[in-house]
Structure 1
Amino acid sequence: MRADAVSRAVLEQLRELHCLEPEQTVCCALSGGADSVCLLRCLLELRPVLGITITAVHVNHHLRGAESERDRTFCQQLCAGLGVRLAVYDVNPAARAAQEHCSEELAARECRYAAFAQVQADWIATAHTASDNLETAVHRLVRGASLHGLTAIPPKNGRFLRPLLRVTRRQVEQYLESLGQTYVTDSTNLTDAYTRNRIRHQVIPALEQLNPSVERTVSYTLRSLRREDDFLHQQAQAAYAKCHTGKNTLSGLETLHEALQFRCIAMLLEEAGISCEAPLLERLAALARQGGRWNLSGAVYAVGKSGTLTIETVQLPEPLPEAIPLQMGENRLFSGFVLHARLETVSPAENVANIHKKFANACLDYDKIKGEIFLRPRQSGDRMQLSGRGFTSALKKLIQANLPPERRRTAHVLADADGVIFAEGVGCAARVCPDGETRRLLVLEILGKC
């Protein structure tokens, strides 16, 4: 390989980004590993051509003990020898991981980019290579990703540049060897403790057996995917501007290609602060065509009707009250309602017909009740057997059949140790109905709004 092949690839990448201006400062993120040392040497080689200033930054994560200190010392000595100004930041990802309950790998990345935010430079160059790009693409393909996700590592993201994306790890090592340049090796890269390392050590070699040039060919594929993703993003932005006819509303989705429908829906969700995944996008696209409602989160719903999709926030009802022991006299479970309970003594001469005529359905044989009586709202799974029926019915259906919609949620329910014994508007359960043997009646009267 020609000694200048890597620097030429870096120059081609930077020029294609159309972002560097003469007299700007580019800070190289320097770990001391082969990739970042290669990047620093290439940027210094290209400095006269581009007319830029080169600085470097090293972030010490303090995760590998003496090895972390070795890396910092190496970077300091390297930059001193090359005449490059170096900024060193000490971070504590272990503490951050414990505080935020995340992996040390994620915490280290967050600490690293927090340190980068303090760097005084126009651009920060990181040493992601074509090999890293392939590993990222494989990782995302296995995990699941959109077209945008499958484009892997972007060559430019904000003020971050990735000049080595056209250079493989093997080319990096050959380039450093041609310069006689040393570097350090992170021992954690040699283990399979992380998913990325397993992909690097196990999956990529298998792919290279199928195609020895897989890093190079996938690099071209990713650039092609990125161009197509950029085009679709532009088209989706134009479509979104046209279809976004009101707050949290998309209209005319049926006129768009399905790919643009999905992207517009994703943009709508992002605007509403809702994360999206492929299954949700498919569901909401179908919802817009077929109509209906789908719960997104808590009180937030997606509503589809005639090609229109709207995200709505509904007013959630107040939480239902907890069960309370029934007491004789006034009982207040729901705001604005009072349930009066009292005991009546029945004489042996009084027949069942007279009892029901006198007290309607709001009377129970007190002596048939098992244990303590609780007053509560209806609960999921409640069932009750009515008098004259040889089966139990779902209390929800019984209440729906006997109470208007505005009263169903606040229907008073009594339950004993064996289950529901009374429901407002429905009556009492068969097992506590008064009969010829009844001597004590529990009489109920519900008043509202009070």
Structure 2
Amino acid sequence: MLLQLQNHLSQNLPFLQDKKLLLAVSGGVDSMVLTHLFKALNYNIAIAHCNFNLRGEESDGDENFIKNYAQDNDIEIFVTHFNTVSFAEDAKLSIQMAARQLRYAWFQELIQEKGFDYLLTAHHLDDSIETFLINFTRGTGLEGLTGIPQQNDIIIRPLLSFTRAEIESYAEENNIKWREDSSNVSDKYMRNKLRHDIIPVLKSMNTDFNGSFKETLQHLQQAQSLVEDASVLVYKQVVTEVEGQKHINIEQLLRLPNYQAYLYQWLKPFGFTAWNDIYKLPNAQSGKQVNTDEYRLLKNRENLILEPLQQQDSNVYKIEEGQSDIATPIQLHFQKTTIVPEKSSKNEIFVNNELIKFPLFVRKWREGDYFYPFGMNGKKKKVSKFFKDEKMSLSEKENTWLLCSGNNIIWIIGRRADERYKVTENTTQILKIELL
């Protein structure tokens, strides 16, 4: 096994040589063999051990066992303790998920503080089989059937090509001691039930089940790679990125033979799970949306718009008389002038300063707001109707600010001024207001 690993590392993970490696070590046979192998191959390693305080004296026994091993073998060791049960309750997570979050957050801190290059874990082929079956049972996309990846950024799993039996056999042949985790016997966890009840039946049906599964994984990983390549190519044709948003052109999307598969590939990194709702969105009414905790997918007229969710600002910002500039919530510049150009941009207005009552206010629009659009000869219009006529998306409406004098709207900023404050031939005081 040592020679097999050495060949595997030189062919597939040569960049680990001469790097500073942090090994996640629980004390079980897998992580103890991982540590033994990398020490035997003279890699620069250190041990990280988490005591989750879940098994009382047994957890403390694991910690002491690993400390003694590190001392006997002159390996640097880092140990931390977690109140896993309390964290799981506060975060409303299962014990397993809580432990996972705690340990990887700590590993990341160690890596940054101590300058490690990579984190190595002892996942092996049987772990990959179990992960495949868990995902298959719960329902998943193709990527969920590709097993555990050999590398995720700085996390490396060098033992994925070896079985649990091979690892245990190597430990026995080389007199490597390890600790048995009593929780591995319990079938209350899905992974253990698969390990004890389901996988032995599959292996009884195929004596080379591990070899067949490894070959199947390779085919699935190749298929996933093809899917990702196709997804990137089509993405460039269908999606445009605009000021932090991703605009998915609906017409081009619906021309694709299986547009749902592309939506899944593009949107899965953003935490979406309501896939049936997402697949219906291209044919839904404008304004329909599907949200995650951090992102929104919004149906606009011609596009599906993916954008981060923003906290809506309900504040009202005051502008005192004589102020020339404000920076919050947007940048506005105020300047008295005597000249009104024949043509002005949408980012500036010229108003009759005598009609304005200070302080002015900047705020978001509210239901029931109305104004008298410039150029419409004094006709009153609801702001909501103006937005609709302008064919503004929901996100555009949410990001639009109003400049007000008392209860009157002077300017839908960047969109349309109010007729009541326009400059006429009788105006003697002109105020230029510019959106920077």
The alpha carbon displacement at 1:170 in A equals 0.7
2:124 and 2:164 in contact (8 A); partners too: yes
In the alignment, the residues of structure 2 paired with residue 204 and residue 270 of structure 1 have an alpha-carbon distance, to the nearest angstrom, of 29
In the alignment, the residues of structure 2 paired with residue 242 and residue 8 of structure 1 have an alpha-carbon distance, to the nearest angstrom, of 48
Pairs within 5 Å for 1:201-220: 201-220=196-215
Secondary structure at 2:15 match in 1: coil
Match of 1:25 in 2: 20
Match of 2:290 in 1: 296
1:280–1:13 Cα change, 3 Å: farther
Q: Where does the alignment leave 5 or more consecutive residues of structure 2 unmatched?
A: 315-366, 370-383, 386-436
1:253–1:166 Cα change, 3 Å: same
Cα-Cα RMSD? 3.2
Q: Does 1:129 align with 2:124?
A: yes
Match of 2:221 in 1: 226
Q: Which amino acid aligns with 1:283?
A: K
Match of 1:429 in 2: none
Q: Where does the alignment leave 5 or more consecutive residues of structure 1 unmatched?
A: 1-5, 319-333, 337-404, 407-450
Match of 2:272 among 252, 275, 282: 275
Pairs within 5 Å for 1:51-450: 52-119=43-110, 120=114, 121-245=116-240, 247-251=245-249, 252-258=252-258, 261-266=259-264, 268-269=266-267, 273=270, 275-280=272-277, 282-284=279-281, 287=282, 292=285, 294-297=288-291, 302-303=298-299, 309-310=304-305
Secondary structure at 1:27 match in 2: strand
In the alignment, the residues of structure 2 paired with residue 176 and residue 230 of structure 1 have an alpha-carbon distance, to the nearest angstrom, of 35
1:278–1:149 Cα change, 3 Å: farther
1:303 and 1:311 in contact (8 A); partners too: no
Q: Deviations over 1:13-39 (max 9, x none)?
A: 434544624321122111110000111
Q: Deviations over 1:74-117 (max 9, x none)?
A: 11122222222111122221121121122221111111112211
1:291 and 1:304 in contact (8 A); partners too: no
Match of 2:2 in 1: 7
Match of 1:380 in 2: none
1:257–1:166 Cα change, 3 Å: farther
In the alignment, the residues of structure 1 paired with residue 306 and residue 109 of structure 2 have an alpha-carbon distance, to the nearest angstrom, of 39
In the alignment, the residues of structure 2 paired with residue 193 and residue 185 of structure 1 have an alpha-carbon distance, to the nearest angstrom, of 17
Scaled by the length of structure 2, the TM-score of the pair is: 0.63
The alpha carbon displacement at 1:43 in A equals 1.2
Secondary structure at 1:118 match in 2: helix
1:175–1:18 Cα change, 3 Å: closer
In the alignment, the residues of structure 1 paired with residue 64 and residue 189 of structure 2 have an alpha-carbon distance, to the nearest angstrom, of 26
In the alignment, the residues of structure 2 paired with residue 274 and residue 144 of structure 1 have an alpha-carbon distance, to the nearest angstrom, of 16
In the alignment, the residues of structure 1 paired with residue 166 and residue 31 of structure 2 have an alpha-carbon distance, to the nearest angstrom, of 13
Aligned positions, number: 305
Q: Which amino acid aligns with 1:89?
A: T
In the alignment, the residues of structure 2 paired with residue 225 and residue 9 of structure 1 have an alpha-carbon distance, to the nearest angstrom, of 24
Q: Which amino acid aligns with 1:24?
A: K
1:57 and 1:87 in contact (8 A); partners too: yes
